[in-house]
Structure 1
């Protein structure tokens, strides 16, 4: 059966049932109530829009996110998923729930419960780009730090969400808790669309939840799966009390995405709560690619085998020992990336997407990530992967977290430098010695700086500008 829309897919999967779709602190929303709210919202929104129009979505209420997504799908409006805390002056039409930015005079209230208002900001940039009706745009900084709009069709979203739901076993008897932001593709597909398609009761927790909050929400929901960020698992691992957060012990599985989990973090979480912990490798462009089960003693560069329906290769080579750019092909690939005046196609003529990640293929299956092609540090002509150096540092028993970047060097052009978060005081010389026995000489950090914390984005990517001064 060909599904015409997200609304059709959720409706056909849930069947207008009285089963719980979304649980909030105020009320439980059945699938019937959620779909009815989406229909009412679509009726109120239609006079303000035409099919193909773009509307930015800035909401923190998960019910508002679900209603707006399904309602905009009905009227074939393109949704731009934006951080709800972004400035209150986004161009074009903006849908918001009034929780971060209060409604202003002249805004149209397009739904009462949950509250949804339509604000008309300044005009969108004059661009000839026409998006597919009902498309979704997710903004990702990737490896450059500059936001890029990734255009995903309904077809690719459905393929991705169904793939994830099947792998994780979502269903009416499989409640899900998500603490991943819904404006990110990961949180949207794993923590909203996937559960709705499978009829799994969903409870959302704030992305900045501390362990005690996650413990309470998971326990109250009777959740089988937790969708969360690396920072959440890092906080759980840092809790010294082995008996803390017993509410998580009912989980069957948990998923992390955005950045690799430290070996110590993985082993602590798995040992304490005895759950199947999966690391997701994927992106806004590719959707879910792998879900590797972690035990805590594996190489953090290993990301597992491609999910069913996803093909992977390295460059043009069929040699499994070759290191090169990882290429992907699947039904969940995005349509393209937005530029100022066009949408750049994502794939080549054969349907392959170049990820920009350096990788090796294992036999008989599986992928090892080496690092980002664009992030390679050029040390006197020798290429160093920051990810490889970070993996070596975090294998030291006293290192909780690490980030490596390039610093200018008069003799070699660039050298790697590192910041580390330590579990206990450790001499820098010991860390350097650890690296020297495990890395090529040009890959050993020139400097290692212990810090209290490494700033990371909501999805776990390290935020550290390269040093301006030359390393000494």
Structure 2
């Protein structure tokens, strides 16, 4: 089965409907389509063609979307690069993905060292050439590739196909409903599945997107008050900041606003209850890069009585708990459905994604007696900081590269602002200022991954096989 090109189809069905707004500018689906085709011709002038693997590094702004949609028309595989990563981290992903072209926002060009760089300014000024527009997409065609960290500390490039994105969009629509007037406020980064999935839903639903270049609690609160948006995606820390602004100004939220989808780790019950006082329905979700966003979502009718739950599986999906014999028993969450990635790329391309037809998430949760999922922990060692996933092994690997460090262990410690932040413990070979170690990490890690504390210890807790026991590190915080 093939899908019609979603942008062509949406421009045909809803040509004059608002597709995107940013600051004071607005584009219809017809205008988005024509602009994307112009950019596709410009990319073709550089040799970009069907099945080209194209890495993109950009801040969130309309031109980023024009270029992504141009890639959809050409039939490229888009490697979505995280603008917050260090040069070292980005270099790893470019090498692993073997991207033929690297399209870079001029403001970020210093982060990339590659002979394949094409700046946005160069694209903008290029003379378009003829290209073959892809009028149909195969179900298994790779649309996007996003890197997610693994427990080894080595990021894995996750393939996300047309079927993955389509099933995610349709299943979400069956859960929360859609209407022609819907507008999704997008403050999530577009390189992340939480932001990218909003664009996919826009094309599939014919839904408008109100884009902000970054999260700003004051601006988000204004949007909710004005009634110009109906949906929004949040994580715990952004929800709490919006609520604080509403509290401070004793503001009210427009009745036009319908729902917030909340992901990135468990949302405190107190936040959900505070949101209810403003008439905001916060629906907890559970998903990951390997499932192209949501797998479970709490339905509006169940939101009040199942606070803290991530809901039931969306219509096309299945969830089970490994080893659970009865409701309430916790175990590893397993997922099955058309949203699950077919695999990884690069050095992890041989890694088995599914075992016995199920994705083994490594996350711990339980199902209650009605089948509602409650996520207990985002993997045993994972640190979830402001909605960002941080694996301790990534930080440990960097610390161990310093000659003064013999052993390193990292765990999460509680933070009122971010939920959790990384804390590092090191056994030294020689004396060194801890600020020097932190500076060493800063050269190789994104800012949100930097340890917020580094402490020296005589030894690290290990089991009989000499495996580091990170769970015991948490008791040291």
Would the TM-score normalized by the shorter structure come out above 0.5?
yes
Paired with 2:352 and 2:237, the residues of 1 have a C-alpha distance of 33
Whether 1:31 and 2:26 are equivalent positions in the alignment is no
Cα deviation code 1:230-258 (max 9, x no counterpart) = 22111123348365443555411111211
Describe the shift of the 1:65–1:359 C-alpha distance in structure 2 as closer, same or farther (beyond 3 A).
Answer: same
CA contact (8 A) 1:179 1:229 kept: no
Q: 1:32 offset after TM fit, Å?
A: 0.4
Q: 1:85 offset after TM fit, Å?
A: 4.5
Match of 1:419 among 414, 422, 431: 414
Describe the shift of the 1:140–1:257 C-alpha distance in structure 2 as closer, same or farther (beyond 3 A).
Answer: same
Whether 1:252 and 2:258 are equivalent positions in the alignment is yes
Q: 1:462 offset after TM fit, Å?
A: 11
Partner of 2:3: 3
Partner of 2:465: none
Partner of 2:285: 280
Describe the shift of the 1:283–1:250 C-alpha distance in structure 2 as closer, same or farther (beyond 3 A).
Answer: same
Partner of 1:78: 77
Paired with 1:7 and 1:39, the residues of 2 have a C-alpha distance of 10
Describe the shift of the 1:461–1:177 C-alpha distance in structure 2 as closer, same or farther (beyond 3 A).
Answer: farther
Describe the shift of the 1:366–1:32 C-alpha distance in structure 2 as closer, same or farther (beyond 3 A).
Answer: same
Partner of 1:50: 49
Which runs of 5 or more residues in structure 2 are unaligned? 128-139, 393-408, 418-444, 461-475
Which runs of 5 or more residues in structure 1 are unaligned? 119-131, 377-385, 391-402, 406-413, 423-456
Whether 1:324 and 2:331 are equivalent positions in the alignment is yes
CA contact (8 A) 2:144 2:160 kept: yes
- For the residue of structure 2 that corresponds to 1:285, the secondary structure is helix
Instruction: State the aligned residue count.
Output: 384
Describe the shift of the 1:178–1:143 C-alpha distance in structure 2 as closer, same or farther (beyond 3 A).
Answer: farther
Q: 1:358 offset after TM fit, Å?
A: 1.7
The alignment's C-alpha RMSD in Å is: 4.1
CA contact (8 A) 1:236 1:269 kept: no
Describe the shift of the 1:266–1:116 C-alpha distance in structure 2 as closer, same or farther (beyond 3 A).
Answer: farther
Describe the shift of the 1:299–1:218 C-alpha distance in structure 2 as closer, same or farther (beyond 3 A).
Answer: closer
Whether 1:353 and 2:359 are equivalent positions in the alignment is yes
- For the residue of structure 2 that corresponds to 1:344, the secondary structure is coil
Tell me the TM-score normalized by structure 2: 0.68
Cα deviation code 1:294-334 (max 9, x no counterpart) = 8688563x322111111011226564454321111111111
CA contact (8 A) 2:188 2:215 kept: no
Whether 1:303 and 2:310 are equivalent positions in the alignment is yes
Paired with 2:321 and 2:450, the residues of 1 have a C-alpha distance of 26
Paired with 1:329 and 1:341, the residues of 2 have a C-alpha distance of 21
Paired with 2:340 and 2:126, the residues of 1 have a C-alpha distance of 32
Partner of 1:15: 13
- For the residue of structure 2 that corresponds to 1:68, the secondary structure is helix
Q: 1:283 offset after TM fit, Å?
A: 0.4
CA contact (8 A) 1:83 1:183 kept: yes
